[in-house]
Amino acid sequence: MEQKEVTNSFPLIGDKFPELTVQTTEGQIKLPDDYKGKWLVLFSHPADFTPVCTTEFVAFAKRKDQFDAINTELLGLSIDQVFSHIKWDEWIKEKLNVEIPFPIIADSNGDISKKIGMIHPGKGSQTVRAVFIIDPKGYIRLILYYPQEIGRNMDEIVRVVKALQVSDEKNVAVPANWPDNELIKDRVIVPPPSDKKAAKKRLEDYECYDWWFCHKENT
């Protein structure tokens, strides 16, 4: 029987993350079910034993406490076999004195990466530096993509998870560079009014630049 080729698809923000059973350095994991009730940062790297990827793994590991504090798990992925992941994990601990505290998916045939759009079309079979932030209900809330040559900013990944959580909890929008926005600092933006009466009252209830740009304390 002819095997059907897996195409390189691309899930969108708001989509339910596809149900997948994956092999990792810590055994099999069912996505997204095994992370129900948790936020998940799923990130791909081009290859084990490469300099930029090594710096990224160290950066993620050093921020594990920050992710734990915001109910967020980390999960890596590349098109390498599990023994390569394990050996690289050991190398980082031995040479750099950093223990990798999260599992790494072994996607040796690339099928998983193709299903979620992680294959760089101009780079053969290697994965891009993709980041999917998945909420506790299994929905994709944010997607980041970096080229192979540029390492990610892990503080930004921590920041956007916090921002998503604040937005969900308080039904607000979050400004640029939050919590250090140039106009309103760590305050948050009130959703737009639905009618003229609400627009007029908005100026009485909140601090505003105008009725369409009102903000409040993040409390």
Residues with catalytic annotation?
A: 53
Question: Is it true that the peptide bond before 18 is cis, omega within 30 degrees of 0?
Answer: no
Q: What is the CA radius of gyration of the chain?
A: 20
Q: With left for phi above 0 and alpha for psi between -120 and 50, is residue 176 left, alpha or beta?
A: beta
Q: How many CA atoms lie within 13 A of 212 on its CB side?
A: 0
Nearest one of 73, 145, 87, 89 to 113, comparing CA atoms? 145
- Give the rounded distance of the alpha carbon of 139 from its chain centre: 12
Name the pairing type of β-strands 39-44 and 72-78. parallel
